[in-house]
Amino acid sequence: MTHLELTKPFQSRELAKAIVKKINKLSVELSKKGFEKINIMHVCGTHEHTITYYGLRALLPENINVIAGPGCPVCIVPAREIDEAIKLAKEGIRIFTYGDMYRVPGSYEGLSQAKAQGARVTIVYGFLDAIRLAQKSEEETVFFGVGFETTAPTTASFIVNNKVPKNLSILMSYRITVPAVEYILSAPHNLNGIICPGHVSTIIGAGAWSFISEKYELPTVVAGFEPIDVLLAILYILEQLINGKAELINEYKRVVKWEGNQVAKKYLSEAFMVADRDWRGIGVIPNSGWLLNDKYDYLDAREKFNVKIDKWIDIKGSCKCADVVLGRAIPTDCPYFGTSCTPQHPIGACMVSSEGTCSIWYKYGGHMIRKMRKDINTEGI
């Protein structure tokens, strides 16, 4: 059996129909109970990709609104940190970056433009690639460490296992999703349920989200990334709303354990310390990022090369990226969407990454869904 066969049942049209039928029934009951709109937020770019790519919003009844939250680790890296990487690259230090980060604009330009002007930038698939490439020469190199809980542990494991070559240091840009979700929920909001990110949960465990159902009393589902996974998550949230319950359900049990990946968690706490970090255009969120533990100071690119940026520009003009990330705006609320801002000429970070909501909507036509709903009667599908 290949992975394609493994995922196939989770893409089944028959199953989608069966689940949507149930969702439709529950949504009618919920509106009778006084729920005018049911707002469900997910916090993962891959979920947004699944929802938009498979057109799931078009299958859902009018009163169910699925909102994209802070799920794109590339979109929230402050321009300052991109400027730092560019500065280093222009000084002749080779920067290893993920492809997704390569074209994200900093204050004035992105790493791709800097490279066109001769800066040293190499795209890698992961930290292991960076280590291998660094080992091939004596030159100073820096890994641009971007990502959420899913990505950070690999870097941590190589650090703890002493496998980082002397000429490789790290520009720490890792962020933590849980505090960002808490940041949204602790402010006034109109959310009725949360779909938690499956692969972040692989590391931190489904249990890490229990505060959502306990403290904020919202139905919460940890979900996988196939269309059936997402539809099930929506169904489980509606079922809870009907029954007046707020529980945490792990739909993605086949991969996510309640306690997460203990090995990965141990590496994280050994290599990194949790710190207050800023998110692009949003500001500082308490305990929302990682920096290197004192013991590994020597791997810190900022200290090693004394790079410091005092002024930077996170948001340009009327770009609504920060609101899009927080689920307070949709891409089409932005005057630049699809006109002056496109994946070829991005103004904000959300239009660059394959996990950015603006980019996903642009590529797969997420903006058409509202119009389509009016034109096509999707009832009974």
Partner 1 sequence: MCLGIPAKVLEVNDNIALVDYGGGVKKKVDCSLVPDIKPGEYVIVHAGAIIERISKEDYEETMKILMELLKYSK
State the residues that interact with ligand SF4 by CB under 6 A. Answer: 319-321, 324, 331, 334, 336-337, 341, 347-348, 350-351, 358
Q: Is 157 in the site for partner 1 (CB under 8 A)?
A: yes
For ligand SF4, the closer CB: 114 or 325: 325
For ligand SF4, the closer CB: 197 or 331: 331
Contact by Cβ (8 Å): 249, 221: yes
User: Pattern of binders to partner 1 over 92-131, x per CB under 8 A?
Assistant: ------x-x------------------------xxxxx--
Amino acid (one-letter) located at 130: A
For partner 1, the closer CB: 15 or 315: 15
Q: Which of 294, 295, 301, 271 is nearest to 140 (CA)?
A: 301
Which sign does the torsion angle of CA 159, 165, 166, 169 carry?
A: negative
CB atoms within 10 A of CB 32: 8
Kindly state the tokens that stand for 370. Answer: 């509202």
What Å distances lie between residue 31 and 35, 41, 238, 372, 379, CA to CA?
5, 19, 11, 22, 16
**Least distance from ligand SF4 to the Cβ atom of residue 113, Å:** 17
For partner 1, the closer CB: 192 or 202: 202
Q: Which positions from 279 through 338 interact with partner 1, judged by CB under 8 A?
A: none
Residue 187 interacting partner from ligand SF4, partner 1, none (CB closer than 5 to 8 Å by kind) = none
User: Which runs of consecutive H residues, i.e. helices, occur in 33-166?
Assistant: 45-53, 56-59, 79-90, 99-102, 111-116, 127-135, 152-160
Contact by Cβ (8 Å): 236, 249: yes
**Least distance from ligand SF4 to the Cβ atom of residue 371, Å:** 18
**Least distance from ligand SF4 to the Cβ atom of residue 226, Å:** 26
Q: What is the DSSP string of 276-332?
A: EEEETTTEEEEEEEEEE-GGGGGGBHHHHTT-------SS-TT--HHHHHTTSS-GG
Range 285-315 burial, b when 16+ CB lie within 10 A, else e: beebbbbbbeebeebbbbebbebebeebebb
The residue from 61, 110, 153, 219 that contacts partner 1 (CB under 8 A) is 153
Q: Which positions from 214 through 253 interact with partner 1, judged by CB under 8 A?
A: 225, 228, 251, 253
Residue 334 interacting partner from partner 1, ligand SF4, none (CB closer than 5 to 8 Å by kind) = ligand SF4
Select from 38-46, 61-69, 237-245, 276-284 the region that touches partner 1 (CB under 8 A): 38-46
Amino acid (one-letter) located at 305: F
**Least distance from ligand SF4 to the Cβ atom of residue 21, Å:** 35
The C-alpha atoms of residue 92 and residue 86 are separated, in whole angstroms, by 10
Residues within the interface to partner 1 (CB under 8 A): 1-7, 9, 12, 14-15, 17-19, 21-22, 44-46, 71-74, 98, 100, 125-129, 146-148, 150-151, 153-154, 157-158, 161, 197-200, 202-203, 225, 228, 251, 253-257, 261, 263-264, 267, 353-355
